Amino acid sequence: MAERLRSLRPRRVAGPAFALAIAIAYPFVFSSPVAVNIGVLVLLFALLGTAWNLLGGYAGQISFGHAVFFGTGAYASTLLLTKLGITPWVGMFAGAALAALVAVVAGLPTFRLAGHYFAIATIVVAEIARTVVRNTDAIGGARGLFLPILPTAAINYEFHETRMPYYFIALALLMSSLVVTVLVERRRVGYYLLAIREDATAARSVGVRVLRYKLAAAALSAALTALGGTFYAQYVLFIDADSVFPLSLSILIALVAILGGAGRTYGPLLGACLLIPLAEITRIQLGGTGRGTDLVIYGALIVLISVAQPGGLAALVETLRRRLRAA
């Protein structure tokens, strides 16, 4: 009980509560479609980065293939909707379950690989998935899938007049992923994931069943990522292999988390707040000059941050806070 009370100390709640207030106010203050769209993308990528963080940050298994889970979520809920008329609110959980299954099946062989070899294997798995989806006509093949335009209604997960509902759905998804992260952090599984990241051999020596915990982290991470996939499908109303399974998406998800601070609760959220607006603004401003400019800017930023603070933005914030308190 004392533990529980301590975890609700005002100082630990103040930061998140303040951030939440800003997040709620944002679309009312910046209500232009472009601004709300950027807000939606920030929340979506914060969700994806937070999901990635469970596997990549806490368990230390760096994945460059998370688009597989995103695509699985998007395709599963969309196919359930178009073929069987099942609402995406149900479809998103089916997608999450399927993505978790994919994570376990892909994880069983790849988790035997260490470090860089695992990262390479995740790229291979994701590229295979993209190619298979692209060439399977039964699920739209290279033409992709259009979602039916249904009347604006919460039950339909479609809102045509304003993007506000999407913004708040994305916010709710992000908050659930953060709650999952905090719950994991405080439990046995959270400590075991850190042990695996730090030294799997030593973890085994104190009884940690390494493969089992890696699979659990992958399944949880995949399921949360798939929720983001369903959200994307409902938001854009069109999906194809190149929009929901690409390597560039996998890399962006990993970048958001790593830049923000892998293995830190709010790291990916910070990463998304910096990276996504930057990407969107440079894309809008420099859209005509070729697709590489925004990537050049991320690249430079990542080099800067990793030189200044390898723990990412979250570590930078911690350091600043400590200095302010000391001053």
Partner 1 sequence: MSDLLEIAGITKHFGGVLANDEVSFGVPEGAIIGLLGPNGAGKTTLFNCVTGYLRADAGTVRFAGTDVTAHSTAELARRGLVRTFQVVRVFTDLSALDNVLIGALLRAPEVRVARERASVALETVGLAARAAVRARDLTMAERKRLELARALATEPRALLLDEVMSGLTPREVASAVALVRSLRERGLTIVLVEHVLEVVMPLADRVVVLDHGRKIAEGEPAAVSRDRAVIEAYLGPRFAHA
Binding footprint of partner 1 on the chain (CB under 8 A)? 3, 186-188, 191-192, 194-195, 198-199, 201-210
CB of 203 or CB of 226, closer to partner 1: 203
What string of DSSP letters covers 174-194? HHHHHHHHHHHHHSHHHHHHH
Distance in Å, CB of 214 to partner 1, minimum? 13
CB of 212 or CB of 291, closer to partner 1: 212
Rounded Cα distance between 94 and 128, Å, is 22
Rounded Cα distance between 208 and 193, Å, is 9
Distance in Å, CB of 310 to partner 1, minimum? 11
Which amino acid is present at 264? R
Structure tokens at 37: 């769209």
Distance in Å, CB of 211 to partner 1, minimum? 9
CB of 134 or CB of 204, closer to partner 1: 204
CB of 125 or CB of 203, closer to partner 1: 203
Distance in Å, CB of 198 to partner 1, minimum? 4
Region of residue 153 (phi > 0: left; psi between -120 and 50: alpha; otherwise: beta): beta
Nearest to 72 by CA among 216, 239, 237, 252: 239
CB of 202 or CB of 320, closer to partner 1: 202
User: Where are the extended beta strands (E) located within 189-277?
Assistant: 238-239
Distance in Å, CB of 5 to partner 1, minimum? 13
